[in-house]
Amino acid sequence: MLKALREQIDTILRLDPAARSRVEIVLAYPGFHAVVFHRLANWMWRHRFEVLARFTSNVARLLTGIEIHPAAKIGRRLFIDHGTGVVIGETTEIGDDVTLYQGVTLGGTSLSRGKRHPTLEDGVIVGAGAKVLGGFTVGAGARVGANAVVLHAVAPGESVAGIPAKPTGVKREAPKDFLPYGTPCEDLPDPIARCVASLMDEVANLKQRIAELENKTELPAREIPAEAQPARARRILRGVED
């Protein structure tokens, strides 16, 4: 237990440049407090003291603003940065070296009592305000951007963003690389921007094609084959002939 607490403190000290000492972390970091309370509540839950476990987790929520169900399975060195508004559901499973930011929800979309909350494998980072909803797996080293809504499984090392979340095209081969807020700040490929750019290119190509057709020798309207004339033009010509 003491070893796990030391690892927790060392992780926060390493990942948060605002942390200046271990004493500061122990006294002033709600994410650290929430994890400590959860270890206690989870022990109670596993030993069939369910009501007492729920009471302990509720006290932790009141003190830290972080809600973790006592049945949730949490690995080593979980870093909850800032933490206010974080919700971790009952059947959630979190691996080692995972980072969650404020406002993150690991929720369920089913009313069944089975596995309905996500599994976060080792090294996952979930950005501020993101919602990961469902009983699927977010692969090791994956990055979830701020305010993303994730409704499907995420491949290991993949970065997702948006509502609903989609791959950004950024895939990291080194899952241990830390990425604050789960959002790549350098050369982030915006899926919407790429779509708009593709449409603009298509419009430019069509304009060029039209210009080329207009520059060709034009035949009198009556000499243009009927099948080559637009429907509206054919109706106008028929009206003139009549």
Is the distance from CB of 139 to CB of 165 less than 8 angstroms? no
Task: State how beta strands 137-138 and 143-144 pair.
Answer: unpaired
The CA distance from 92 to 198, in Å, is 39
Residue-level pLDDT at 1: 72
Is the distance from CB of 144 to CB of 118 less than 8 angstroms? no
Residue-level pLDDT at 174: 47
Residue 23 token pair: 């004493």
The CA distance from 159 to 173, in Å, is 11
Residue 62 token pair: 């009141």
pLDDT per residue, tens digit, the chain (242 aa), is: 778 888 889 999 888 888 899 999 999 999 999 999 999 999 999 999 999 999 999 999 999 999 999 999 999 999 999 989 999 999 999 999 999 999 999 999 888 888 999 999 999 999 999 999 999 999 999 999 999 999 999 999 999 999 999 998 766 654 455 556 555 555 555 667 767 877 888 888 888 888 888 777 555 555 555 555 556 555 655 655 55
Residue-level pLDDT at 111: 83
Residue-level pLDDT at 58: 96
**Residue-wise DSSP of 78-135:** -EE-S-TT-EE-TT-EE-TT-EE-TT-EEE----SSSS-S-EE-TT-EE-TT-EEESS
The CA distance from 201 to 232, in Å, is 28
**Residue-wise DSSP of 164-181:** TTEEEEEE-S-TTS--GG
Q: Is the pTM of this model over 0.85?
A: no
Structural domains of the chain, ranges and CATH numbers in brackets: 2-186 (2.160.10.10), 193-241 (no CATH)
Burial 171-186 (b: 16+ CB within 10 A, else e): ebeebeeebbbbbbee
Three-class SS state of 183: coil
The CA distance from 83 to 165, in Å, is 22
User: Residue 217 belongs to what H/E stretch?
Assistant: none
Residue-level pLDDT at 132: 96
CA angle (149, 152, 154) in 5-degree steps:
95
The CA distance from 118 to 152, in Å, is 10
